[in-house]
Amino acid sequence: MKININADIGESYGRYSIGNDSELMQMIGSANIACGMHAGDPTIMMGTIRLAIDNRVSMGAHPGFNDIWGFGRRQIRMRPLDLEYLVTYQIGALKVMAETQGAHITHVKPHGALNNMAHDDLDYALAIGRAIRAVDRDLIYVANATSQMTKAGEQLGLPVANEAYVDRVYDDNGKMASREREDAVIRDPGKAASQVLSILENKALTSANGRRIPVDIHSFCIHGDEPTAVPLMREVRRHLAHAGIEVVSLPDLFGFRRDEGQMRSWPL
Amino acid sequence: MKININADIGESYGRYSIGNDSELMQMIGSANIACGMHAGDPTIMMGTIRLAIDNRVSMGAHPGFNDIWGFGRRQIRMRPLDLEYLVTYQIGALKVMAETQGAHITHVKPHGALNNMAHDDLDYALAIGRAIRAVDRDLIYVANATSQMTKAGEQLGLPVANEAYVDRVYDDNGKMASREREDAVIRDPGKAASQVLSILENKALTSANGRRIPVDIHSFCIHGDEPTAVPLMREVRRHLAHAGIEVVSLPDLFGFRRDEGQMRSWPL
Amino acid sequence: MKININADIGESYGRYSIGNDSELMQMIGSANIACGMHAGDPTIMMGTIRLAIDNRVSMGAHPGFNDIWGFGRRQIRMRPLDLEYLVTYQIGALKVMAETQGAHITHVKPHGALNNMAHDDLDYALAIGRAIRAVDRDLIYVANATSQMTKAGEQLGLPVANEAYVDRVYDDNGKMASREREDAVIRDPGKAASQVLSILENKALTSANGRRIPVDIHSFCIHGDEPTAVPLMREVRRHLAHAGIEVVSLPDLFGFRRDEGQMRSWPL
Amino acid sequence: MKININADIGESYGRYSIGNDSELMQMIGSANIACGMHAGDPTIMMGTIRLAIDNRVSMGAHPGFNDIWGFGRRQIRMRPLDLEYLVTYQIGALKVMAETQGAHITHVKPHGALNNMAHDDLDYALAIGRAIRAVDRDLIYVANATSQMTKAGEQLGLPVANEAYVDRVYDDNGKMASREREDAVIRDPGKAASQVLSILENKALTSANGRRIPVDIHSFCIHGDEPTAVPLMREVRRHLAHAGIEVVSLPDLFGFRRDEGQMRSWPL
């Protein structure tokens, strides 16, 4: 059995550092690289691209709202068309930067409040999907399982990777519980590993209230900006290895062949 | 005889409008499209790309410092490497946005204070050039005649288009006179047309003090944000037509063939 | 009978101009001056302060979300405490800049999407109110009639000015109809003047659907960024003069005495 | 003998943390609080103000260029008038925020590249000085010893505090050596303490090349964003105590009396 693990990476900004990218990069299959709007700057982006290449990690764009102060975690209500172009812009910048290093991005994963809003709002989910499709219809749309993004991706004919979180508690609708809840973020490695194995074994999320929500997960995500990310990831990997589950990149999981055109030469 | 005319276009931002893009676009051969850092936003960029396609105008990236307040006209001293990636980022964003519309960018022209600094500073000129080359070594580097940018472009093996300004007075070093000078900007159509014809006939700039600086010009630039841009351009075009000089796009001037790979399918 | 007319002023930004501030300033009693977050920059702010002083117009802070691209018209969901300090920051900056010119601000009026959100959301309305009160409990909270802001201002013991719009259509809840509606903005001078007189005579708003919502209005607002602002205001003033209604500043309307401490020396 | 120690504080931004403010605040006499342009946001500012009050540390504004990406360390060339208002804006915002907490700012210290440029450029130094004087002519202008800021402050009749750095090497002009030099930043506590004592005893800076530059220092500054700030400060304080030199706040050093009008009630 194969699974992907992805993390938000490259979320430092200028003199401000966040996360433990160099360690985390060794433990994931795919990196969601911030594109300069909610975090990341051109220099950070380039360094993160090289780090991903060095670690043979596949890369994707991690577009967010244009909001450094809010780290992309403030919900912003905008016209879907403006959002579509804002996402296209970010994917474009990262795509070309990766190509200057001989690499190709293979997925897109929205960030923070954009991800949360697109979970429920089909207009937002479609705007993101149209941006992805306009750039390259082989880009994988990484979408919260049970969300409108999954629906939008399918509707637009994009490859969709359903994801669940290693480090977040779920509510009864299969959505991440709000960060305002005390227990929203899982920081205990054992608890995180249990959640991952439980989701795979039961083919379902279990909400904080114990509700079972059926899902078929391609990828597990971890928040790179949490100081606990590395120990959590280590424990999750240990449990996955023990269960005989291999961690691969998203393009490997989706059976993309390398060296056959643009999308086929991600880090190898 | 053939010549290119280029203008800075797409420099509106959100609710703020500047310039007369729709009229100006009908009179130029190539558009330098702002990339979101000194001006332009993703929605403006997309609209400008479509306007260029509709007018069969070739497109280029117009990267600037990240400075909306200063409209990219404040000199910012930064590490050349940071500048290189800042420029790569902007070219990348515009390139991919153009490609979503079936068009390709064919040149890069730095904006405002970045252009002024790179005129004299080889490190800046090279940083811009390396960004261009990393993205696509067929992209034309539009450079002030007599500047370090011309030198950098040649050194890096890029196609270089020497440019002069329709609407700016020159100093004795062949550099645009500072905007702090009362007479720095030419707003009289007749004077602008005379400057253009004089440069072409004499193969030289004539400075405000009457000094002759030999140049071989490929392209004339006009500032799109000036309210006088349209009447100036009209008069310049009239004089060029009268002199039997044809205005073409930059890729036409450089003999790029269309439909033979990525760089060959700019508008039309 | 006396009434105030206020307008959003000073919403240019760097090289970008918007609105017709110098003409509009001659026709209003009070100016809501943008504070650098959604529009305005320090130089624009200082110029606007001087323009207000020259026209003997009272001044207030016009705080908005930190969002130049969106012109403060994108709803941003943030913690009320962060909002409170964001508003305090903006009031503070304007207050001190006005004081360097010997003037004092006398009111606060939230901008755009912040105003819209605070209309319905008591937490936001209170956050704004707490910011106002922390700075100076004599500052007038200019609040949409029928809104949670009115309630918040009263609850906090602030002077509250109920306002209605000259140039906006109302929905059945007494809220400005969304800008997405074709007819949301009134651009016909006669229609604007009728709306103003009708509100004063009937002591009620009349919604687009004809519903009557009782209100007691202290101030009418006009959007300074609309190109029709000046003709609308001219017509409104003409009708008010004809009806014998005097236009005064907010501190005059509220009976503040001048020259008796800080709050008492607004322009003149 | 009395001396002041100041540090740049409150330079975090949104989700990004930098420096060790809570420990550092216990060891300094005066805090230069970032004002939202190069670092700091309204929530960070308010938290820093409270931290200063709790530690009985006097507060000053730490205005910088509007440049979060560059952390205010990129030189920006702008019109002195724009700079003056940019500084007024920042002082104003912090001043009023401090007043909402019952405290008053008593000094202004420019940040990073603005500080470096104003060291040599009298126009910049005067622009900052005019901003300070416009807000309150009792505010202390904290200025690099030997700089144009000292001259500007004196020329404008402001109280001037000459400062030297605990953690920076000096060049032969009495200016901090560029950060591009390997040894520009002193991270060894013993070396930092020696520099401080040497400057006080010799009434002179000693440059990296051994040149002696006479100075009369009121205040020593430490960079709060360096991870070594706390151990350096501890060692410096130990040496100062041993030498019988008392560390006091800037207003104490300048003999401001408390509780006699606005400037007299800084934290006590």
- Chain pair A-D, CB pairs under 8 angstroms: 32
What band does C85 get if pLDDT is binned at 50, 70 and 90?
Answer: very high
- pLDDT tens column, C154-177: 999 999 999 999 999 999 999 999
With beta carbons less than 8 A apart as the criterion, state whether D35 and D90 touch: yes
Inter-helix orientation angle A80-100/A122-135, to 10°: 40
| Closest alpha carbon within chain C to B15 | C71
Average pLDDT over every residue of C246-263: 78
| Closest alpha carbon within chain C to D130 | C100
What residues are paired with C131 via a beta bridge? none
CA distance B49 to A134: 14
CA distance A115 to C169: 34
Each residue's pLDDT tens digit in chain D (268 positions)?
999 999 999 999 999 999 999 999 999 999 999 999 999 999 999 999 999 999 999 999 999 999 999 999 999 999 999 999 999 999 999 999 999 999 999 999 999 999 999 999 999 999 999 999 999 999 999 999 999 999 999 999 999 999 999 999 999 999 999 888 888 999 999 999 999 999 999 999 999 999 999 999 999 999 888 889 999 999 999 999 999 999 999 999 999 876 554 444 556 5
Q: Which of A66, A67, A76, A121 to mutate to test the interface with C (most CBs of C within 10 A)?
A: A76
Tally of CB atoms within 10 A around A145: 24
**By percentage, how much of chain C surpasses pLDDT 70?**
96
Choose the closest CB to A68 out of D17, D68, D225.
D68
Looking at the complex, report in whole angstroms how far the Cα of residue D73 sits from the nearest Cα belonging to chain B. 9
Choose the closest CB to A92 out of B82, B96, B134.
B96
CA distance C128 to C63: 9
What band does C181 get if pLDDT is binned at 50, 70 and 90?
Answer: confident
DSSP string, chain C: -EEEEEEEE---BTTB--S-HHHHTTT-SEEEEE-SSSS--HHHHHHHHHHHHHTT-EEEEE---S-TTTTT-SEEE--HHHHHHHHHHHHHHHHHHHHHTT--EEEE---HHHHHHHHH-HHHHHHHHHHHHHH-TTSEEEEETTSHHHHHHHHTT--EEEEEESSB-B-TTSSBPPTTSTTSB---HHHHHHHHHHHHHHTEEE-TT--EEE---SEEEE-TTSTTHHHHHHHHHHHHHHTTPEEE-HHHHTTPPTTSSGGG-S--
Is the pLDDT confidence value at B251 over 60? yes
Q: Between D178 and B96, whose confidence is greater? A: B96
D89·C42 Cβ contact <8 A: yes
- Degrees, nearest 5: CA angle C138-C44-B225: 150
Instruction: Name the token pair of D75.
Output: 């030189």
Closest CA to A221 of A151, A170, A257, A183: A170
Amino acid B15: pLDDT? 96
Q: Which CATH class is domain B2-260?
A: alpha beta
B77·D75 Cβ contact <8 A: yes
Burial pattern C5-14, b for ≥16 Cβ within 10 A else e, equals bbbbbbbbbb
Is the pLDDT confidence value at B264 over 70? no
Looking at the complex, report in whole angstroms how far the Cα of residue A267 sits from the nearest Cα belonging to chain C. 36
User: Which residues from chain A sit within 8 angstroms of residue C90, using beta carbons?
Assistant: none
Amino acid A262: pLDDT? 41
Looking at the complex, report in whole angstroms how far the Cα of residue B131 sits from the nearest Cα belonging to chain D. 20
CA distance D118 to C199: 56
User: Which residues from chain C sit within 8 angstroms of residue A179, using beta carbons?
Assistant: none
What band does B256 get if pLDDT is binned at 50, 70 and 90?
Answer: confident
What band does A256 get if pLDDT is binned at 50, 70 and 90?
Answer: confident
C74·A76 Cβ contact <8 A: yes
Strand D212-214 to D204-206 pairing: antiparallel
Instruction: Name the token pair of A69.
Output: 């102060």
Residues of A near D (Cβ–Cβ under 8 Å) read 13-18, 41, 68-71, 73, 225
Strands (E), A57-180: 58-62, 75-77, 105-108, 140-144, 160-165
Amino acid C262: pLDDT? 40
Helix (H, G, I), strand (E, B) or coil at D105: strand
User: Which residues from chain C sit within 8 angstroms of residue B69, using beta carbons?
Assistant: 13-14, 41
Looking at the complex, report in whole angstroms how far the Cα of residue A148 sits from the nearest Cα belonging to chain B. 24
C15·B18 Cβ contact <8 A: yes
| Helices (H), ranges, chain B | 21-24, 42-54, 80-100, 112-120, 122-135, 148-155, 189-202, 229-242, 250-253
With beta carbons less than 8 A apart as the criterion, state whether B95 and A91 touch: no
- pLDDT tens column, B22-31: 999 999 999 9
- pLDDT tens column, B107-147: 999 999 999 999 999 999 999 999 999 999 999 999 999 99
Choose the closest CB to C97 out of D36, D42, D89.
D89
Residue C41 exposed, middle or buried by CB count within 10 Å (0-12, 13-18, 19+): buried
Asked which of A203-207, A235-239, D178-182 is least confident by mean pLDDT, the reply is D178-182
| Tokens 């001293």 sit on residue | B77
Instruction: Name chain A's partners: 3 or more CB pairs within 8 A.
Output: B, C, D
Q: Which helix (H) or strand (E) holds D203?
A: none
Choose the closest CB to D93 out of C43, C81, C92.
C92
Choose the closest CB to B93 out of A81, A89, A134.
A89
User: Which residues from chain B sit within 8 angstroms of residue C73, using beta carbons?
Assistant: 15
D134·C42 Cβ contact <8 A: no
Residue B47 makes CB contacts below 8 A (sequence gap 6+) with B10
B74·D74 Cβ contact <8 A: no
Residue D241 makes CB contacts below 8 A (sequence gap 6+) with none
CA distance B84 to B71: 19
Choose the closest CB to D135 out of C90, C94, C96.
C96
- pLDDT tens column, B172-189: 999 999 888 888 999 999
Instruction: Name chain D's partners: 3 or more CB pairs within 8 A.
Output: A, B, C
- Chain pair A-C, CB pairs under 8 angstroms: 24
Choose the closest CB to B77 out of D69, D74, D78.
D74
With beta carbons less than 8 A apart as the criterion, state whether D61 and D37 touch: no
C78·A77 Cβ contact <8 A: no
Q: Which of C13, C15, C33, C43 to mutate to test the interface with D (most CBs of D within 10 A)?
A: C43
D43·C85 Cβ contact <8 A: yes
CA distance B36 to B49: 13
Q: Which of A68, A89, A135 to mutate to test the interface with B (most CBs of B within 10 A)?
A: A89
| Closest alpha carbon within chain A to D37 | A69
What residues are paired with B59 via a beta bridge? B31, B105
Is the pLDDT confidence value at A268 over 70? no
Single-letter residue type at B179: R
Residue C29 exposed, middle or buried by CB count within 10 Å (0-12, 13-18, 19+): buried
User: Which residues from chain C sit within 8 angstroms of residue A70, using beta carbons?
Assistant: 76, 78
CA distance B94 to B62: 9
User: Which residues from chain A sit within 8 angstroms of residue B134, using beta carbons?
Assistant: 100
> Chain-wide mean pLDDT for chain C?
94
Residue A173 exposed, middle or buried by CB count within 10 Å (0-12, 13-18, 19+): middle
B75·D76 Cβ contact <8 A: yes
* C-alpha of B76 from chain center: 20
D69·A18 Cβ contact <8 A: no
Choose the closest CB to A13 out of D16, D41, D73.
D16
Average pLDDT over every residue of C204-225: 94
User: Which residues from chain D sit within 8 angstroms of residue B75, using beta carbons?
Assistant: 75-77
Amino acid C226: pLDDT? 85
Choose the closest CB to A75 out of C66, C70, C77.
C77
Closest CA to B233 of B13, B19, B1: B19
Q: pTM of the entire structure?
A: 0.96
* C-alpha of A206 from chain center: 20
D97·C89 Cβ contact <8 A: yes
Burial pattern B73-91, b for ≥16 Cβ within 10 A else e, equals bbbbbbebebbbbbbbbbb
| Closest alpha carbon within chain D to A15 | D71
Strands (E), D37-157: 58-62, 75-77, 105-108, 140-144
Looking at the complex, report in whole angstroms how far the Cα of residue A261 sits from the nearest Cα belonging to chain C. 37
Dihedral angle sign, alpha carbons of residues B121, B124, B129, B130: positive
What band does C266 get if pLDDT is binned at 50, 70 and 90?
Answer: low
Looking at the complex, report in whole angstroms how far the Cα of residue B55 sits from the nearest Cα belonging to chain D. 37
Amino acid B18: pLDDT? 95
Closest CA to C7 of C166, C214, C217: C166
- pLDDT tens column, C186-201: 999 999 999 999 999 9
| Tokens 């539009």 sit on residue | B142
Amino acid D225: pLDDT? 82
